[in-house]
């Protein structure tokens, strides 16, 4: 199969597996913002902010290390055995430690002890599924990967509807079920639904897991740790880049502002969906093609394609933003932070650029650079949030995210030229990024409600891109059809 066609096929399937769950999550924002006020929504946000942080600690870069060594050692079974056994063992230890210090940790996060128990259980079961999911990806089984992911989000969404929408209508006053149900705040049932989904998916994975052998090749495990730990540290900094704004807003501006900001921030998920789908398809492709002499040129083509598609998507989201807001944000109290949407979309465009650039340090085993880049981004995020929020409010958080990802991408690009030269079409890429940002700002600032002008601008933007890249687009389409 033609490599571009295979890449497009796998990216499409991985895209569905990633886009659909996140899209369902976005749709659930409509449900959550209809039953929760911004202050309660801030509890939901804090829960998942810290879930993301602890997920990085629980997996300590082992997923990416598994990808690298499984391909490097020609799919040696000991890589699979070592990676899974490592995460299983440490997952048990880390979970027990969290439970032992549950009062202190729950107080630090800002959640109640009963919610914290759900927090630990979700972490544990999700950790156990990291290597099985990675194994499906690296062995090119996108359909099975998609099935498990879609099953998980379907269970989660179903129980959200059951607990938040349907069950209250059927409960009898004074009954045991009603007493249990009303003994918890509504936000509790979002997390309880998540736990049901995680456990159900784990049980569905059991036939696969039963074929995994336990055991650790000590020498290999140490090599994987050396490769993965810098990625864990980089992941921690990435979580800071993504989530410190919510923590800072909660402390400096209050839970109402933070809850509003977090809900509106979800609109940026359209860019996240695209980036995630692109990365899930591109990462295995990058590693599998790394020995091909023509790999650098292929990587450059993929970067250009990403920028064109991401820029077009960003402009489209801004054009249709009034519709998106009506669908997903159900209470007027959340709309006070709408002005940050174009900035967040632009920030995510640069995040995708950074993800594509990061292949040079992963292939050259210089993952420490990824840590340093993320540290720079985290520093920028923290400083701008702490300085800016007391002065300009929530917009400081949006600008901090944009600044962090832009600087990270720039530094990675210039250092990458030294260690792993890739012939990126830098001029074109910068032009498309600049045009996308300007057009998005123009539409949001001056033509937010003028549909005629907005659609004309979008058509002109798409026509300009196609006119400049007509040969490239046709070549890629021909390659995919072969």
| Residue in 108, 109, 61, 69 with CA at minimum distance from that of residue 87 | 61
Report the C-alpha gap between 379 and 377 in whole angstroms: 5
The answer on pLDDT for 480 being more than 80 is: no
| pTM exceeds 0.85 for this model | no
Q: What is the DSSP letter of 319?
A: H
The average pLDDT across 184-207 equals 94
Output the CA torsion sign for 208, 213, 214, 218: negative
> For residue 116, what pLDDT is reported?
95
| Percentage of the chain lying above the pLDDT 90 cut | 46
The answer on pLDDT for 293 being more than 90 is: no
Contact 343, 402 (CB under 8 A): yes
CA 110 to mean position of chain CA atoms = 23
Q: Which residues contact 183 (CB under 8 A, 6 or more apart)?
A: none
> For residue 54, what pLDDT is reported?
95
> For residue 13, what pLDDT is reported?
75
| Residue 86 confidence class, pLDDT cut points 50, 70, 90 | very high
> For residue 4, what pLDDT is reported?
56
The average pLDDT across 277-295 equals 70
The answer on pLDDT for 481 being more than 70 is: no
Question: pLDDT per residue over 306-326, tens digit each?
Answer: 898 899 999 999 999 999 888
Q: Is 183 exposed, middle or buried (0-12, 13-18, 19+ CB in 10 A)?
A: exposed
Contact 142, 216 (CB under 8 A): no
> For residue 16, what pLDDT is reported?
77
The answer on pLDDT for 207 being more than 50 is: yes
Domain ranges (residues) in the chain: 3-481
Q: What is the DSSP letter of 255?
A: H
> For residue 7, what pLDDT is reported?
60
> For residue 482, what pLDDT is reported?
45
Kind plus residue range of the DSSP H or E element containing 443 = helix 426-446
Task: Region of 111 please: left (phi>0), alpha (psi -120 to 50) or beta.
Answer: beta
| Residue in 412, 435, 266 with CA at minimum distance from that of residue 352 | 412
HSE value, Cβ hemisphere, 13 Å, CA-based, for 120: 20
The average pLDDT across 245-251 equals 92
The answer on pLDDT for 473 being more than 70 is: no
| Residue 479 confidence class, pLDDT cut points 50, 70, 90 | very low
> For residue 139, what pLDDT is reported?
82
Contact 46, 38 (CB under 8 A): no
Q: Which residues contact 413 (CB under 8 A, 6 or more apart)?
A: 357, 424, 426
| Residue 472 confidence class, pLDDT cut points 50, 70, 90 | low
**∠91-96-97 over CA atoms, to 5°?**
100
> For residue 416, what pLDDT is reported?
87
| Lowest model confidence (mean pLDDT) among 197-206, 207-216, 462-471 | 462-471
Report the C-alpha gap between 122 and 180 in whole angstroms: 21
The average pLDDT across 142-150 equals 88
Residue tagged 């400083």 (tokens)? 383
| Percentage of the chain lying above the pLDDT 70 cut | 92
> For residue 32, what pLDDT is reported?
93
The answer on pLDDT for 253 being more than 80 is: yes
The answer on pLDDT for 193 being more than 70 is: yes
Report the C-alpha gap between 278 and 107 in whole angstroms: 38
> DSSP labels for 338-406?
GGGHHHHHHHHHHHHHHHHHTHHHHHTT-HHHHHHHHHHHHHHHHHHHHHHHHHHTTHHHHHHHHHHHH
51: phi then psi, degrees, rounded to nearest 5: -60, -45
Question: pLDDT per residue over 45-65, tens digit each?
Answer: 999 999 999 999 999 989 988
Output the CA torsion sign for 272, 276, 277, 283: positive
> For residue 290, what pLDDT is reported?
63
| Residue in 2, 137, 121, 158 with CA at minimum distance from that of residue 67 | 137
The average pLDDT across 340-360 equals 91
> For residue 475, what pLDDT is reported?
58
- Tell me if residue 154 falls in helix, strand or coil: helix
| Lowest model confidence (mean pLDDT) among 12-26, 99-113, 356-370, 395-409 | 12-26
The answer on pLDDT for 288 being more than 80 is: no
Question: pLDDT per residue over 388-411, tens digit each?
Answer: 999 999 999 999 999 999 999 999
The answer on pLDDT for 23 being more than 90 is: no
The first and second tokens of residue 409, run together, are 């991408």
> For residue 11, what pLDDT is reported?
65
| Residue 332 confidence class, pLDDT cut points 50, 70, 90 | confident
The answer on pLDDT for 44 being more than 90 is: yes
The average pLDDT across 121-131 equals 95
Averaged confidence pLDDT in the chain = 87
> DSSP labels for 396-428?
HHHHHHHHHHHHHHHHHHHHHHHHS-----HHH
The average pLDDT across 352-372 equals 84
Higher pLDDT, 211 or 174: 211
């Amino acid at each position: 199969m033609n490599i571009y066609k295979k890449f497009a096929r796998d990216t499409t399937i991985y895209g569905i597996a990633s886009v659909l769950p996140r899209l369902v999550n976005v749709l659930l924002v409509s449900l959550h913002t209809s039953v929760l006020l911004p202050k309660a929504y801030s509890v939901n946000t804090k829960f998942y902010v810290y879930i993301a942080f602890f997920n990085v600690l629980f997996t300590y870069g082992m997923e990416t290390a598994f990808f690298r060594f499984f391909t490097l050692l020609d799919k040696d079974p000991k890589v699979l055995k070592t990676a899974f056994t490592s995460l299983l063992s440490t997952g048990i230890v880390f979970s027990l430690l969290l439970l032992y210090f549950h009062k202190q940790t729950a107080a630090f996060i800002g959640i109640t002890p009963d919610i914290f128990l759900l927090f630990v259980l979700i972490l544990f079961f999700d950790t156990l599924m990291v290597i099985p999911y990675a194994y499906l990806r690296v062995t090119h089984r996108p359909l099975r990967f998609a099935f498990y992911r879609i099953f998980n989000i379907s269970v989660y969404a179903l129980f959200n509807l059951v607990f938040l929408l349907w069950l209250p209508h059927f409960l009898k006053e004074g009954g045991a079920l009603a007493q249990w149900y009303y003994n918890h705040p509504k936000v509790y049932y979002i997390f309880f639904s998540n736990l049901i989904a995680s456990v159900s998916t784990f049980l569905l994975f059991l036939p696969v897991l039963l074929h995994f052998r336990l055991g650790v090749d000590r020498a290999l495990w140490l090599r994987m740790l050396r490769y993965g730990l810098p990625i864990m540290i980089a992941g921690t900094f990435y979580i800071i880049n993504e989530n410190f704004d919510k923590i800072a807003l909660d402390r400096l501006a209050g839970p109402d502002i933070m809850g509003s900001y977090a809900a509106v921030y979800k609109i940026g998920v359209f860019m996240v969906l695209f980036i995630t789908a692109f990365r899930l398809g591109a990462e295995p492709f990058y590693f599998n093609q790394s020995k091909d002499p023509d790999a650098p040129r292929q990587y450059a083509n993929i970067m250009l394609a990403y920028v064109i598609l991401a820029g077009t998507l960003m402009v489209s989201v801004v054009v249709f933003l009034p519709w998106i807001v009506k669908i997903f944000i159900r209470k007027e109290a959340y709309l006070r932070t709408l002005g940050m949407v174009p900035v967040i979309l632009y920030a995510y465009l640069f995040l995708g650029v950074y993800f594509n650039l990061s292949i040079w340090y992963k292939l050259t085993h210089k993952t420490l650079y990824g840590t340093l880049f993320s540290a720079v981004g985290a520093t920028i995020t923290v400083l701008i949030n702490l300085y800016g929020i007391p002065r300009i409010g929530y917009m400081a958080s949006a600008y901090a995210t944009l600044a962090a990802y832009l600087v990270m991408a720039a530094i990675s690009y210039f250092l990458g030229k030294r260690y792993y030269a890739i012939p990126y079409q830098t001029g074109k890429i910068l032009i498309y990024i600049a045009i996308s940002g300007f057009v998005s700002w123009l539409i949001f600032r001056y033509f937010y409600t003028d549909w005629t002008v907005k659609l004309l601008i979008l058509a002109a933007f798409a026509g300009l891109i196609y006119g400049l890249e007509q040969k490239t687009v046709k070549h890629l389409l021909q390659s995919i059809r072969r």
